[in-house]
Amino acid sequence: MTQTRGKRRTALVLGAGGLVGGAWETGVLYGLADAGVDAASADLIIGSSAGAVVAARLAAGKSSIAELYEGELDGSAPAEPPARLGALTILRYAVAVLTSRTPEEYGRKLGRLALGAATVDEAARRATVGRRLDPVTRWPDRPLLISSVDALNGELAAYDADSGVPLVDAVTASCAIPGLWPPATLDGRRRIDGGVHSTANAHLAAGYERVVVIAPNASGNNVVLSPARQGAALAAAGARVEVITPDRASKQALGRNSLDPSHRAPAARAGRAQAAAHAPAVAALWAQ
């Protein structure tokens, strides 16, 4: 994993959750900004899957958080056609997690699923992700980590500006949902969705003093650790941590299919509303 240089005080972690989860994250960030908390000012931003898209656009600074939020509401933000994992694929996910003992073993099993699935062409998928990132095409000057999982060995890696991997390729890999989108090729390795290892990958913020985790998917188990458990581990190591996952209203707004673009606006609004409850804690964290 490439090491990001610079200050190691504050980190913002943006987790996996599909197009709809990314809209919710954007709403939370805008709601925090409404309350005077600029979470995007973190010394390091970490993104996985949908969170990778939000993280890259946020870190690049070519659009304000208000503009990103409005894009979710009016549909001007780059999107994708509706998609859904099939019942058989979901079953294979369940079997994989039940028969795995480590995130790496789970990653290998989903990697085999991804490598054998009939999907769109890899180049076409990269072009779609490029449109979602537009106008961001290059790594920003500020520290940014984008996660993905090796389809063969199941290991997590995080890429940054020093990795030599183009930003669009790193984000395409991070968003490569097994069984739905093709694995992306980075440095000759086939890589899949960063959310396979965990829905937040908050452990990548180890060593930072203060960490805010915004995770649309709060789930976890003995193999894939939840954002709450990862946050607790960071706290046990001495960090101050605030973990934000969807409340009841946000869960309802997110809906059952995180890949349905019609839920983006409701999810963004719900995230903005929920942020008010977390703003005092995040403000206290960032003020240290």
Rounded distance, CA 271 to CA 273, Å?
A: 5
Q: Residue 269: phi, psi to the nearest 5?
A: -65, -40
**Interval 269-280 mean pLDDT:** 97
pLDDT, residue 288, reads 75
pLDDT, residue 80, reads 74
193 among known catalytic residues: yes
Catalytic residue among 48, 49, 147, 198: 49
Rounded distance, CA 22 to CA 16, Å?
A: 8
Place of tokens 């299919």: 257
What percent of the chain lies above the pLDDT cut of 70?
Answer: 97
Rounded distance, CA 106 to CA 126, Å?
A: 25
Q: CB-hemisphere CA count at 13 Å for 215?
A: 26
Residue 47 pLDDT greater than 50, yes or no:
yes
pLDDT, residue 287, reads 85
Of 13-17, 27-31, 234-238, 284-288, minimum mean pLDDT range: 284-288
User: Looking at per-residue confidence, does 75 or 179 come out higher?
Assistant: 179
134 among known catalytic residues: no
**pLDDT, tens digit, 9 for 90 and up, residues 131-168:** 999 899 999 999 999 999 999 999 999 999 999 999 99
Q: Are 29 and 214 in contact (CB under 8 A)?
A: yes
Rounded distance, CA 166 to CA 162, Å?
A: 10
Q: What are 157's two structure tokens? A: 């890696």
Residue 6 pLDDT greater than 70, yes or no:
no
The structure's pTM equals 0.95
**pLDDT, tens digit, 9 for 90 and up, residues 160-179:** 999 999 999 999 999 999 99
Rounded distance, CA 159 to CA 165, Å?
A: 7
Residue 261 pLDDT greater than 50, yes or no:
yes
**pLDDT, tens digit, 9 for 90 and up, residues 82-93:** 788 889 999 999
Alpha helices in 77-226, H assignment, sequence order = 87-98, 103-116, 122-133, 167-174
**Interval 58-66 mean pLDDT:** 93
pLDDT category of residue 5 using cuts at 50, 70 and 90: low
Residue 128 pLDDT greater than 60, yes or no:
yes
In the chain, what are the helix, strand and coil shares in percent, each to the nearest 5?
50, 15, 40
pLDDT, residue 84, reads 86
Q: In Å, how far are 84, 154, 246, 257 from 39, measured between CA atoms? A: 31, 31, 17, 27
Residue 30 pLDDT greater than 90, yes or no:
yes
* C-alpha 17: how far from chain center: 7
Instruction: Name the residue type at position 28.
Output: V
**Interval 39-60 mean pLDDT:** 96
Catalytic residue among 147, 174, 193, 250: 193
